[in-house]
Chain A
């Protein structure tokens, strides 16, 4: 059982927007602005898409955006493209002895 809760799957059509939620506690998501999101294609290493809740690394499309409210963070992907089909993981720095916690992952299907 993962420390952060994500929906198992979401889907959308090309061009649409989707949002993936990530719910934690006041010890992690709610207590820090150190939430990050990773995209993982099959048999590939995860790729950082969002860090510090809202920041995009260089080279990541501005179709990806992040936000946070209370203990829940969200990743929004606008203008869905076929290449966005992947599993997305959220992660948060934690005040607990675990330091880093992950969500269970959300599989995005672009229909």
Chain B
């Protein structure tokens, strides 16, 4: 079965760039025509959708973060990545990667999640 695993630095300095990678195992990232999303959760707070990417590289970002977010996909490595620039303490959160729905508007939910990785923004 498909599993997701986030990786990246757990500590980022203010004004720098947060960089995370999600590795897909147990299946190919190219099968099923799925979007792949990033979702974050500050400690003790709710979930916030950050953005998603399709196999072609097409992206959709949360408008509140759009100016600072970039995503990419590397099908040869079965990975997709997130970059968030100019981070502040408000970006401190657990970041999850998740399998989104398909481009045919089927399976529209986050069926599979990574375990999450805590990123702290602090000097």
Contact = CB atoms under 8 A, between A and B. Distances in A.
Contacts of A103: 46
Contacts of B63: 97-98
B60 A99 contact: yes
Contacts, number: 58
Nearest to A6: B46
Interface string B73-108: 000000000000000000000001000110001011
Interface on chain B toward A: helix, strand, loop, or mixed SS?
loop
Interface residues of B, number: 22
Nearest to A105: B46
B108 A104 contact: no
Interface of A: 2, 34, 36, 38, 45-48, 51-52, 57, 89, 91, 93, 97-105
Contacts of B101: 34, 93
Contact of A51 (B46, B47, B108, B114): B108
A52 B106 CA distance: 9
B29 to A, nearest CB: 19
Contact of B108 (A34, A47, A97, A101): A34
Contacts of A100: 37, 49, 52, 100
A110 to B, nearest CB: 21
Contact of B47 (A52, A97, A102): A102
Contacts of A99: 49, 52, 60, 62
Contacts of B100: 100
Given A34-B108, A51-B107, A45 B96 contact: yes
A102 B46 contact: yes
Given A45-B115, A45-B116, A102 B110 contact: no
10 contacts: A34-B101, A34-B108, A36-B110, A45-B115, A46-B47, A52-B109, A91-B109, A99-B49, A100-B52, A104-B46
A91 to B, nearest CB: 7
Contact of A101 (B49, B96, B107): B49
B60 A57 contact: no
